[in-house]
Structure 1
């Protein structure tokens, strides 16, 4: 199935990928014992400037799914294809990270607890610390028919037979109510739930809430609104651009102050976890801001736009592989004394890791069977060449 090319989504994927890589590069350097306060503060400021990355991927997943399948087209075959394009690469990269960690720690690959260790990584990955996102986002793929049914019920009961302006008022009002409910959920998650002590499966669910879809549902629904009415969404984003910029700047200053206020000898980035009300506000405002910027950039054809589209095209494989490349860089930098140089080395590591991960994905995707490691990047490139007038939109959040 083909659809009109949505150029800004490719740019957004590229921007989100770069933001995620920058966050992980910051995490590699900001907790080192020889870091000076100036570097800690600067890295904290850059960190808040890139918080939109992961959660905007959730938004894009909802946008692409509803754009492609929101009109009732069969989703079963698409889900089977997504298992091969998303879950299989996740499993293979989980094995790769497990092997690397075992070898680095000088452990046997075939010990008595091997299979239990691998299974644990498939459900709660720690070796590939970034792979939790694949587990979380795949829950939305599995539950998409339910979200689509809810959208249909809402549309038939609340929107049909009303004027366009009234429909927009109802949708915006509903989103505001959902945002308030989601903000309340974030308040519970950050301030209340950590103090709970439950038993059995409920304690497991509580401890792993950062990987569970209910705690990210608003971004997916917002993406569904975008994908269901793309032109209206574009118009709204452009109109809101001055306000989203203002809110982002206010929240950026506030979160920076909050980070310093709750940090002692070292900056604690966990103060700005995704599941926090203030983080929710800055991410939404930043998401609307960068969407508007992506719309403006998509009309250009200079080298920056082409680079972002390149990153967006291979962002899923780049996401899966970048932590391994970063580990290789860290293997060289960790023995070094970098006092007063942590900010430059973070930026240097980012400049190495991000393009290297995309280039590696691009090369692997061209090998026979390479899509099992990179997702549908190679297949999408071939389809685009065969149908130059249109784009086959894959419902992969990182691509």
Structure 2
């Protein structure tokens, strides 16, 4: 069965990758002791422009899975392929970051403590601080059959035997109900769970909630709606573009004020954690806004579009490798006196690390065995929109 190639997804992946690199570049410089208040505030404001990146990858996972397999195609062989394309590179890069940290700190590689620390990194990555996302997103790939079953039940018992217009209304109400429930969960995450001593296994689950799929399910469901009705989704996104822009601007001002109000001598980015109700509204509005932008960009072919397509194609390997390149740049900048230059240095670091990570992934993907470092990026030949396509997974692996 032939399927249309969804060009805006590649552009959206590219935008998400750039947003993630900018976030991590900001995190490298905003907490330095010699930063001036003006730079600190500007970096905090720039940070909110990039909040959509990570969670939009969750949205794309739902969109891609339901677009390809929501109709009932066999998923088991695809799951095994996902393990090779996503989880194996995660393990390889976990080893790379573990070795880098151990060697840079002159710690032994072969000892009881070192072996224990390595296996801990496979569960709770800290050496590669960004790798938590791979663990979290892979949970959605594992549980996709359950999400697909729920979608079938919804279609059978709620949508069936209704007109298309009535079906759209019911889907909108379903999203509103789920959004309210998710917003309540975010309120609990931010205002209740940090002070709740549940004890036992429940306390462990709450302590690691930032890496658990259940605390990001709304974005996946929103993506499922997109992937299940792509044409209607596109029309709706473009129609709502003025409103999503207004909501984003309002939330951007609100969260900027909140960030300044709750930061003392230095800006504390943890005020805007993903598991916060206001951040949830900001991210959703920004996500829909960026999707609309991606649709408009996909209708043209110019340098920006080609660059974003390049970033989108190699975004998985770029995501895995960019923290290592950022650390290399930071090892040099930490020796410099950057008073009044932290904003400029952050932007320059981003401008170096982002394209370098994509270029590195492009190079590695062409080497023998490169798929163990980059997934299947670069191995798949480009196809025309009229040909049968298999949109890549959330971070760019096929």
For the criterion TM > 0.5, the same-fold answer is: yes
TM-score, normalisation: structure 2? 0.98
Deviations 1:171-216 (A, max 9, x none): 0011000000000000000000001113232222111000000100
Contact 1:322 1:353 (C-alpha < 8 Å) held by counterparts: yes
Q: How does 1:301-312 map to 2 (within 5 A)?
A: 301-312=301-312
Q: How does 1:366-385 map to 2 (within 5 A)?
A: 366-380=366-380, 382=381, 384=382
Q: Partner of 1:189 in structure 2?
A: 189
Contact 2:26 2:43 (C-alpha < 8 Å) held by counterparts: yes
For 1:89 and 1:118, locate their aligned partners in 2 and report how far apart those are by CA, in whole Å.
Answer: 15
Contact 2:5 2:385 (C-alpha < 8 Å) held by counterparts: no
Q: Partner of 1:209 in structure 2?
A: 209
State the 1:335 CA deviation: 1.2
State the 1:370 CA deviation: 0.2
Secondary structure class of the residue paired with 1:113 = helix
Deviations 1:136-166 (A, max 9, x none): 0000000000000000000011111111110
Q: Structure 2: give runs of 5+ residues left out of the alignment.
A: none
Distance 1:388 1:152, change over 3 A: closer
State the 1:376 CA deviation: 1.1
Distance 1:230 1:198, change over 3 A: same
TM-score, normalisation: structure 1? 0.98
For 1:307 and 1:217, locate their aligned partners in 2 and report how far apart those are by CA, in whole Å.
Answer: 30
Q: Partner of 2:96 in structure 1?
A: 96
Q: How does 1:228-267 map to 2 (within 5 A)?
A: 228-267=228-267
Contact 1:61 1:395 (C-alpha < 8 Å) held by counterparts: no
Deviations 1:259-285 (A, max 9, x none): 000000000000000000000000000
For 1:179 and 1:197, locate their aligned partners in 2 and report how far apart those are by CA, in whole Å.
Answer: 27
Deviations 1:330-359 (A, max 9, x none): 000001110000000000000000000000
Q: Structure 1: give runs of 5+ residues left out of the alignment.
A: none
Q: Partner of 2:51 in structure 1?
A: 51
Deviations 1:314-345 (A, max 9, x none): 00000000000000000000011100000000
State the 1:396 CA deviation: 1.6
State the 1:112 CA deviation: 2.0
Q: Partner of 1:392 in structure 2?
A: 389
Q: Partner of 1:330 in structure 2?
A: 330
Matched pairs, number = 396
Contact 1:11 1:305 (C-alpha < 8 Å) held by counterparts: yes
For 1:198 and 1:161, locate their aligned partners in 2 and report how far apart those are by CA, in whole Å.
Answer: 45
Q: How does 1:36-75 map to 2 (within 5 A)?
A: 36-75=36-75
For 1:55 and 1:67, locate their aligned partners in 2 and report how far apart those are by CA, in whole Å.
Answer: 19
